Amino acid sequence: MSTLTSASTYAEVIAAYKDNASYAEDNSVTKARAFITACRFLLLMMPGRSAKGRQQEIEFTQNLQAIKAEQKQASNWMQARASANSQYHYADLSDFRN
């Protein structure tokens, strides 16, 4: 179960993001899941645009794109890990009688 909820503050989401960013180094699927959740929360909490000017709007857009890319990278890492740790192993018997 996720430690983040709808009542989580921005500071708590940032802390979860930072705490779980080392999922690959720690080889932890649990951390990867928590990192992906933190990315989702950040994408919801961060504004898509800024009213202060064009430069700040570009920075927000770049941050959102970076978070989406990191979320996808974590998801791909989890999928690759799941494939590598599959319970099923198939023998190749195609050259058995040769």
What integer pLDDT is reported at residue 3 of this predicted model? 85
- Average pLDDT of the segment spanning 70-83: 91
pTM of the model: 0.73
Could you tell me where the DSSP H helices lie in 1-98? 10-20, 23-26, 29-45, 54-84
pLDDT in tens, 8-18: 999 999 999 99
Rounded to whole angstroms, how far apart are CA atoms 48 and 59?
A: 10
What integer pLDDT is reported at residue 94 of this predicted model? 64
- Average pLDDT of the segment spanning 66-94: 80
Please work out, in degrees rounded to the nearest 5, the angle formed at the alpha carbon of residue 56 by the alpha carbons of 55 and 58. 65
